[in-house]
Amino acid sequence: LVVAFKDVIGRTLDGKLAPSELQNSTFTISNLGMFGVQSFGPIINQPNSAILGVSATVEKPVVVNGEIVIRPIMSLTIDHRVVDGMAGAKFMKDLKALIEDPISMLV
């Protein structure tokens, strides 16, 4: 399985995926964070049901327990025309929890 992932990732980065490998998807992830983009509005690719936009992580001042502290902040956006907004919000909440505590995915 790991070898298959590495193969697909390598061909994706090289722009060598076959058109048939780009069909029948249901969800897209668009990552512009690696280019330093701090916020953007991804638009869903039909016939997908949603697209997640991942922005750059930047240090920002936030309030934690009444104190101003610097924390790494990442912006996530989602276009979810096929699913209800509440389902999209729950997905984003769950995804945020997993990103903040990736070890929880292993238990």
* CB-count exposure of residue 50 (10 Å: 0-12, 13-18, 19+): buried
Contact (Cβ atoms closer than 8 angstroms) between residue 58 and residue 72: yes
DSSP 3-state of 62: strand
Neighbours of 79 (CB within 10 A): 19
Token code pair at residue 11: 């061909």
Distance separating alpha carbons of residues 55 and 17, to the nearest angstrom: 24
Is residue 80 part of the annotated active site? The answer reads yes
Given the residues 50, 53, 78, 80, the one annotated as active site = 80
As annotated, the active-site residues are: 80
